[in-house]
Amino acid sequence: MAYNLAHMHNMKNLPTELLRTFVTVVDRGGFTQAGMILGRTQPAISLQIKRLEELVEAPLMQRDKHLQITEQGETLLSFARQILTLNDAAFTRIHRQQVSGQVRLGIPNDFEVSYLPSLLSQFTAAYPDVSLEVNCELSEKLLRDFEQGHYDLVLATTTQNLNPDSGNDHYANTYIEPIVWVSNGHDIPDPEQHINLVLYPQGCGYRQRMVSQLNKANKAWRVAYSSSSLLGITAAIQAGLGVSAMAASTVPEALTAHAKLAGYPDLGNIQIIFQSDPDTTNPACLRLQEHLHANLPTVSLTNTHTQAN
C-alpha cells in the first residue's frame, strides 16, 4: 500500500486546459485555427502544446508544412478525448442540478435545419428541467422583437460591419462566417446571361449582399423565386429555379455550397450576433448562451476583425 501511495504521489497531472488545446489543434488542423476557437493567439497555443510535450516527455506533433501527429500524440489524443468528456460531463451534471426555468430563443430561418437543432437537443438532454421555446424568423424581425422583450436570447445574422470596439454591449458576442453561393450542383445560371436568384424577402442580409455584389460586378440578375421559409428556398434551388447564398455552416445537405463560383462575385462574410439582456440572472439563459458559444462552428470576430475579409 505504501508503494502505491508513493507511486501515486509521483504521478503527474495532465491539465485539462492543455488537453483541450491539443484536441482543438488536431481537430481544427492548426495552431491559428485553434487559437480562433479558444480565443488565444497562435504563439500562446504553440506554448501550451510545448508545455504538454514537456509534461509527457514526448513529441506530440511534427511541425513541418503540414501538422503531423506523432504516435505518442495519437495515444494521448484518445485519452485526452475521454478525459475531456468526463470533465465536461461532471461539470454539466453538477450545473444542471441547479438549473431550471424557461428560455425564449429566437433563431434565424436559415439555421432551422443546420447544426442548431442538434446543439439545442444536446442542451435539453443536459438540462432536462429547462423549458426551451424556439422561434424562427428573419434576423431583422428577431432583433426588433428582442428590443420589445419577446425573447430572452436571440441569435441573428447581419451583413452590417459591426465594430467590436464600439462599446456596444449588445454586440459583444459576435462571430463571423463566410457566405457561399448555393446551387443544386448542376443548374448554375451562366454568369454572362441573367442570373436567376432564389431569395428570402426584402430585409434579408443575404439578399442585400447578393444584389449589391452582383450590381458592383455589373451582372444581370432577376428574382426567380422568393420565400420566407428555408424549406421553400431549398425546394426551389433543388428544382433548378436558380442559385442563392447562405452562411457556409447552414447549407442543407441536399444542396451544394460553392466558396468560389466562376464568373460570380465573392460574397464576403456574415456576422452572427448573440443578443441577451446583459443584466439577466436567468440561469437557464446563461447556460444556453455558454453552450451555444462553446459549440458554434464559427470564428470569433474579436480575434479576426483586423484581418481582411
pTM: 0.58
Tell which CATH classification among 3.40.190.290, 2.40.420.20, 3.20.10.10, 3.40.50.970 matches the domain 103-309. 3.40.190.290
Task: Render the burial of 124-142: b for 16+ CB within 10 Å, e for the rest.
Answer: eebbeebeeeeebbbbbbb
For each of the chain's 309 residues, which pLDDT tens digit applies?
554 555 555 678 999 999 999 998 888 888 888 887 787 888 999 999 999 999 999 999 987 767 889 999 999 999 999 999 888 888 877 766 667 788 899 988 777 767 777 788 888 888 888 888 988 888 888 889 999 989 999 988 887 655 444 444 444 467 778 889 999 988 888 888 889 999 987 767 788 889 999 999 999 998 999 988 888 889 999 999 999 998 887 888 888 889 888 889 998 888 888 888 877 778 888 888 888 877 776 544 433 332 222
Task: Enumerate the β-bridge partners of residue 68.
Answer: 62
Q: CB-based burial of residue 90 (10 Å sphere; 0-12 exposed, 13-18 middle, 19+ buried)?
A: exposed
Amino acid code (one letter) for 178: P
Q: Which helix (H) or strand (E) holds 294?
A: helix 283-295
Phi, psi (rounded to 5 degrees) for 245: -135, 145
Cell of 31: 495552431
Domain range list for the chain: 2-95, 103-309
Inter-axis angle of helices 283-295 and 116-126, to 10 degrees?
130
Q: Regarding beta strands 195-199 and 153-158, do their DSSP bridges make them parallel or antiparallel, or are they unpaired? A: unpaired
- Which overall architecture, per CATH, does domain 2-95 show? Orthogonal Bundle (1.10)
